[in-house]
Amino acid sequence: MTLLLIGIFLWVAAHLFKRVAPAQRRALQDRMGKASKGLFAGILVLAVVLMVIGYKMAPVDPVYDPPVWGRHLNNLMMVIAVALFGLGKSKSRLRGTLRHPMLWGMVTWAVAHLLANGDLASVVLFGSMLVWALVEMPLINAQEPAPPPYQGSVKGDIRLAVITVVVFIVIVLIHGWVGPWPVGG
């Protein structure tokens, strides 16, 4: 569980650094230039690797019994989460309706996984990501103005839907390779 906790700490710290220590973040950017983005990207990649390895190595200590229907709802929610992750950079008409679509995608992803998994490592991982995303949104709102309205197009909606389905299928295949098979029996 130690690697999982270190990974979560690195993820949260790297993301919150800009929000809770903006002067230090600016000083680091001034000192390192564009390399500071690479530093944070490297920290985030390391965080994900540590979370995946730590999660896979963690013992299965039950905390609660997830509902039987949780796995099925998880899969539906994951399609929505993938769409939300893509929404922020899409040309969909939905883009202008929701601030922080990637963070809402993270919230949806975390809740979906908490519905399907009741072990301690899952509660720690998905619960931490849920809390982080919910904390990050008001911090961003306090520091940055809302983006300008976005019109989008039907073509953008269709493109988002197609990309969502393709990415979801890829995620299912990768998930089945590195973890439990997420759909069906």
More confident residue, 30 or 136: 136
Question: Is the pLDDT confidence value at 85 over 80?
Answer: yes
More confident residue, 96 or 8: 8
8 A C-beta contact, residue 95 and residue 101: yes
List, for residues 48-83, the tens digit of each pLDDT value.
999 999 999 999 999 999 999 998 899 999 999 999
Separation CA 103–CA 108 (nearest Å): 9
Residue 33, number of CB atoms within 10 A of its CB: 10
Phi, psi of 152 (to 5 degrees): 70, -175
Separation CA 136–CA 71 (nearest Å): 27
Question: Is the pLDDT confidence value at 133 over 80?
Answer: yes
Whole-prediction pTM: 0.90
Q: What pLDDT does residue 184 have?
A: 63
168: which 2 tokens?
């979801």
Question: Is the pLDDT confidence value at 115 over 80?
Answer: yes
Three-class SS of residue 62? strand
- Domain locations along the chain: 1-58, 60-185
Closest C-alpha among 24, 28, 48, 50 to residue 38: 28
Q: How far is CA 61 from each of CA 8, 23, 36, 109, 185, rounded to the nearest angstrom?
A: 19, 41, 39, 21, 23
